[in-house]
Chains A and B, each alone.
Chain A
Amino acid sequence: PVVVTFELRRWALNSNIFTINGSKNLMFVLQAEVFPYPEIGNEEVEEINQLVAPVERFFTEEVDSAKIDREAKIPPETLNGLKELGLFGIMVPEEYGGLGLSNTMYARLAEIISLDGSIAVTLAAHQAIGLKGILIAGNEAQKQKYLPKLASGEHIAAFCLTEPGSGSDAASIQTRATLSEDGKQYLLSGSKIWISNGAIADVMTVFARTEVDVDGVKKDKISAFIVERAYGGITSGKAEDKLGIRGSNTCEVSFDNVPVPVENVIGEVGSGFKVAMNILNSGRFSMGSSSAGMIKKLIELTAEYAATRKQFNKSLSEFGMIQEKFAMMALNAFVMESMAYLTAGMMDRPGLPDCSLEAAMVKVFSSEGGWICVSEALQVLGGLGYTKDYPYERYVRDCRILPIFEGTNEILRMYIALTGMQYAGKALTGKIKEMKKGNIGMVFGVVGKKLKSSLGGSVDYGLTGKDGVVHPSLAESAKKFEQNVSHVGSTVESLLYRYGKTIVDEQLILKRVADVMINLYAMTAVLSRASRSISIGLRNHDHEVLLANTFCSDAFFKNNYLMTQLQKHSPENNDANIKKIAREVLENRAYICSHPLERTF
């Protein structure tokens, strides 16, 4: 599947992190974008309901997930059914034969498609990343030539970036494309691994190093190519025998001097890395809705069991520890949905806004939340959940890939933390310059402000109150959110003071910053969504308020703890010890304690 690279580290070390002129604002401050919750027109709602019905029906009646998992194959009839339904070209514009649906609609359909993990990954590999390059960076000729057959499913697409030596560090790929003497084609050679649809794809987006001329100096830069299997020289290895999503084909793809016409370069030569990042960023948000869709289904299945299974003369649903699991599943589904559709709604706004930070947060939250929820759902079924007679173990196996592909959660946390801190860094530059000039008053100003907010001085970003955008029944949660935000602002400031540029290497710190930011975005999403539900009187909005307040309260305390750990010399912070333990273990490549039964006398 797919990876993201951590280019930020390279960039941060080579440039002055504090003088970035990025237009990316810390989204918390952008009230206007997240309140009110994105609304779609009546017509669109009707259309979505229309489109959802046949897809749901197909998946319930025609998809045998157990069989697909058992045989590690999606039957051709099922694949054909998916093609006929139009699911291979959901976001391809109508003029090229696709459905031309928005990100929001795509997210809605993803909720149903996720009922079968193998199908979901096959379709995503094809359109969320496989053909996405042509869609967002291709020229008219490329679109006309390739999109129609890809949209109908006649041709299947794949995304070829990862190599044996280059996973998260995607910029280090070695596959090379050399321009021919006559300048009419590139010869592509190299090996790619973990390629979804690798054996069945007819059209592949392949990334390779190309030699470019930068101001007279020859440099190696990555370019993106549209490569047809028909060009020859392409071999696919045997399908990987995977833990989950077994019906999705994953294999090695090798290129041996494959001739690729120069017209098939996507975007500019040398701009491949950016193309790759844009592709990956644009598909990530839908993991929120697909995980939510899966959890909602699991709630139905497990609730049925919990209500009927009796032990100690009570049904399971009467026991606290079982009830907790259902609450957790409902909360997770609620947050994932809210985040996914908030992000999709923002992405659908005119002007192609950059929501890569938000999409990354949705991905991290949903992949980990999904993993925990499927495990707990299995737990409710006990021994039965552990058998193949029930689908729970398959859901567990299928979900394990979520924190790994599409950018490992470790990489995405680094991206989230560093991007989120950019804004704080920018604001800080001014203060640092003042300090250097010897403006002591400035320093006192900063210290004084920090003292005030750390003493719990009231913080008001205007979310609540007379002109507030949050409904009164959510006011307390909004206040907690505002407190967290101000606290995180000062926390980030002091971290940047303390570490400066070296912060890029402090992963344990950045992990906490990322977690706080993810929680904050989640809180924003639920507050926005619940406010809207109350205002327009959606059915069961009281339940939504309950979910929103419960989540925000929980997240508030978690954030506070994380930020406490981030204080200088915080006793709650065990990082130094953790690093020491890790170092000693890794040096010895083993557990180093003497056995408890050993003697020295």
Chain B
Amino acid sequence: MSGRVLVGVKRVIDYAVKIRVKPDNSSVVTDGVKHSMNPFCEIAVEEAVKLKEKKLIKEVVAVSCGPQQAQETIRTALAMGADRGIHVEVTGKDYETLGPLQVSKIMAALAKKEDAQLVILGKQAIDDDCNQTGQMTAALLDWPQGTFASEVSFDGDKIKVVREIDGGLETIKIKTPAVVTADLRLNTPRYATLPNIMKAKKKKIANVKPADLGVDLTSRLEVVRVDEPPQRQAGVKVETVDDLVGKLKEAGTV
């Protein structure tokens, strides 16, 4: 086994930012808005680095797809302990329509190229909430998948994954190579300390184009319109149950 783990990290609008829709309703405003690494991707990186610290794997490679700024996100992963990075350059219209299908094709190609033993991704990104990339990547590679992981451990040549599902927790054992997606309670990501950020400057980030990986980026989706959710209306207080039933009938909900 190569002992190499691929971690996908996505640059998204920071969770604390108040999102605004562009006046033409085509998308949200990203210009001048604070961006950071997707929180679930942080958890993924943390898990990979922890595995390396436990000496269960040998190398952590951080991957991000996007324009120049994606390198900042990779640098954060390097500062958290990843060994090297791969920046898959996607810009312009291609970047606007980049989605799970395209990214999973890229990840699959890289997993093969880098002879990865494990691919760890965040369960979903907080901008599009797709929750598809991990699953698609595993399917394209025909690898087993352990999604919504809240615990990951190595058991011989298999990986034990405790999954958070609607009914509770499900434990599975999967063979490697595999794809795992990180859920909230998997770990608490470390801060990238300033000394580590300085050290990370020396780590390498390779530049790759999707064409080099033989990936077709055409989107099968077209965004028609983006709208803000409707303004929340104020509630109404009623005195009696009869009043309540009356109001509900008025609103046509009963």
Interface residues of A (CB under 8 A from B): 46-47, 49-51, 53-55, 57-58, 60, 81, 84-87, 90, 94, 99-100, 539
Q: Which residue of B lies closest to A57 (CB)?
A: B191
- CB A63 to nearest CB in B, in angstroms, measures 12
Determine whether B109 belongs to the interface, using a CB cutoff of 8 Å to chain A: no
A85 CA / B75 CA spacing, docked (Å): 16
A50 CA / B78 CA spacing, docked (Å): 11
Asked whether A99 lies within 8 Å of B195 as measured between CB atoms, the reply is yes
Which residues of the other chain, A, contact B32 by a CB distance below 8 angstroms?
Answer: 539
Determine whether B79 belongs to the interface, using a CB cutoff of 8 Å to chain A: yes
Q: Which residue of B lies closest to A60 (CB)?
A: B16
A81 CA / B79 CA spacing, docked (Å): 16
A60 CA / B16 CA spacing, docked (Å): 11
A220 CA / B195 CA spacing, docked (Å): 44
Q: Could you list 5 A-B pairs, sorted by A, with CB under 8 Å?
A: A50-B192, A50-B197, A51-B197, A90-B194, A99-B194
Size bracket, chain B contacts: 10 to 19
Cβ-neighbour of A50 out of B31, B75, B191 (below 8 A): B75
Cβ-neighbour of B72 out of A49, A58, A86, A87 (below 8 A): A49
Which residues of the other chain, B, contact A94 by a CB distance below 8 angstroms?
Answer: 198
Determine whether B76 belongs to the interface, using a CB cutoff of 8 Å to chain A: yes
Asked whether B194 lies within 8 Å of A51 as measured between CB atoms, the reply is yes
A47 CA / B201 CA spacing, docked (Å): 9
- CB B105 to nearest CB in A, in angstroms, measures 29
Interface residues of B (CB under 8 A from A): 16, 31-32, 36, 72, 75-76, 79, 191-195, 197-198, 201
A100 CA / B195 CA spacing, docked (Å): 10
- CB A310 to nearest CB in B, in angstroms, measures 15
Which residues of the other chain, B, contact A539 by a CB distance below 8 angstroms?
Answer: 31-32
Which residues of the other chain, A, contact B36 by a CB distance below 8 angstroms?
Answer: 53
A49 CA / B31 CA spacing, docked (Å): 16
Secondary structure at the A interface, as helix, strand, loop or mixed, is helix
Asked whether A54 lies within 8 Å of B192 as measured between CB atoms, the reply is yes
Q: Which residue of B lies closest to A152 (CB)?
A: B195
Which residues of the other chain, A, contact B195 by a CB distance below 8 angstroms?
Answer: 86, 99
Known contacts A84-B191, A99-B194, then 7 further A-B pairs from the complex at CB < 8 Å, ordered by chain A residue:
A49-B72, A51-B197, A57-B191, A58-B191, A85-B191, A86-B195, A87-B194
**Known contacts A46-B72, A47-B201, A50-B75; A85 and B31 CB within 8 A of each other:** no
- CB A51 to nearest CB in B, in angstroms, measures 5
Asked whether B72 lies within 8 Å of A85 as measured between CB atoms, the reply is no
A51 CA / B198 CA spacing, docked (Å): 9
Asked whether A53 lies within 8 Å of B198 as measured between CB atoms, the reply is no
Asked whether A54 lies within 8 Å of B193 as measured between CB atoms, the reply is yes
A51 CA / B131 CA spacing, docked (Å): 30
Q: Which residue of A lies closest to B200 (CB)?
A: A50
Asked whether B194 lies within 8 Å of A85 as measured between CB atoms, the reply is yes
> Which 3 residue pairs spanning A and B have beta carbons closest together?
A86-B194, A86-B195, A54-B191
Asked whether B72 lies within 8 Å of A84 as measured between CB atoms, the reply is no
Q: Which residue of B lies closest to A55 (CB)?
A: B194
A50 CA / B191 CA spacing, docked (Å): 12
Q: Which residue of B lies closest to A43 (CB)?
A: B201
Which residues of the other chain, B, contact A85 by a CB distance below 8 angstroms?
Answer: 191, 193-194
Which residues of the other chain, A, contact B198 by a CB distance below 8 angstroms?
Answer: 86, 94, 99-100
A539 CA / B31 CA spacing, docked (Å): 9
Asked whether B79 lies within 8 Å of A50 as measured between CB atoms, the reply is yes
Which residues of the other chain, B, contact A90 by a CB distance below 8 angstroms?
Answer: 194
Which residues of the other chain, B, contact A57 by a CB distance below 8 angstroms?
Answer: 191
- CB A96 to nearest CB in B, in angstroms, measures 12
Which residues of the other chain, A, contact B194 by a CB distance below 8 angstroms?
Answer: 51, 54-55, 85-87, 90, 99
- CB B196 to nearest CB in A, in angstroms, measures 8
Which residues of the other chain, A, contact B16 by a CB distance below 8 angstroms?
Answer: 60
Which residues of the other chain, A, contact B192 by a CB distance below 8 angstroms?
Answer: 50, 53-54
Which residues of the other chain, B, contact A49 by a CB distance below 8 angstroms?
Answer: 72
A54 CA / B198 CA spacing, docked (Å): 13
A222 CA / B195 CA spacing, docked (Å): 37
Asked whether A50 lies within 8 Å of B193 as measured between CB atoms, the reply is no
Which residues of the other chain, A, contact B191 by a CB distance below 8 angstroms?
Answer: 54, 57-58, 81, 84-85
A50 CA / B79 CA spacing, docked (Å): 9
Which residues of the other chain, A, contact B76 by a CB distance below 8 angstroms?
Answer: 50, 53
A591 CA / B194 CA spacing, docked (Å): 57
Which residues of the other chain, A, contact B72 by a CB distance below 8 angstroms?
Answer: 46, 49-50
Q: Which residue of B lies closest to A540 (CB)?
A: B32
- CB B195 to nearest CB in A, in angstroms, measures 4
**Known contacts A47-B201, A539-B31, A539-B32; A84 and B75 CB within 8 A of each other:** no
A84 CA / B16 CA spacing, docked (Å): 24
Q: Which residue of A lies closest to B201 (CB)?
A: A47
Of the candidates A54, A85, A86, A87, the one having the most CB atoms from chain B within 10 angstroms of its own CB is: A54
- CB A537 to nearest CB in B, in angstroms, measures 13
Which residues of the other chain, A, contact B201 by a CB distance below 8 angstroms?
Answer: 47
Asked whether A84 lies within 8 Å of B193 as measured between CB atoms, the reply is yes
- CB A293 to nearest CB in B, in angstroms, measures 15
Q: Which residue of A lies closest to B75 (CB)?
A: A50
- CB A6 to nearest CB in B, in angstroms, measures 38
A90 CA / B76 CA spacing, docked (Å): 19
- CB A52 to nearest CB in B, in angstroms, measures 10
A57 CA / B193 CA spacing, docked (Å): 11
Q: Which residue of A lies closest to B37 (CB)?
A: A53
A50 CA / B193 CA spacing, docked (Å): 10
- CB A341 to nearest CB in B, in angstroms, measures 19
A49 CA / B32 CA spacing, docked (Å): 13
Q: Which residue of A lies closest to B197 (CB)?
A: A50
Which residues of the other chain, A, contact B197 by a CB distance below 8 angstroms?
Answer: 47, 50-51, 54
- CB A492 to nearest CB in B, in angstroms, measures 44
Which residues of the other chain, B, contact A51 by a CB distance below 8 angstroms?
Answer: 194, 197
A358 CA / B195 CA spacing, docked (Å): 31
A558 CA / B127 CA spacing, docked (Å): 50
Q: Which residue of B lies closest to A98 (CB)?
A: B195
Q: Which residue of B lies closest to A49 (CB)?
A: B72
A49 CA / B198 CA spacing, docked (Å): 12
- CB A364 to nearest CB in B, in angstroms, measures 31
Q: Which residue of B lies closest to A84 (CB)?
A: B193
Q: Which residue of A lies closest to B191 (CB)?
A: A54
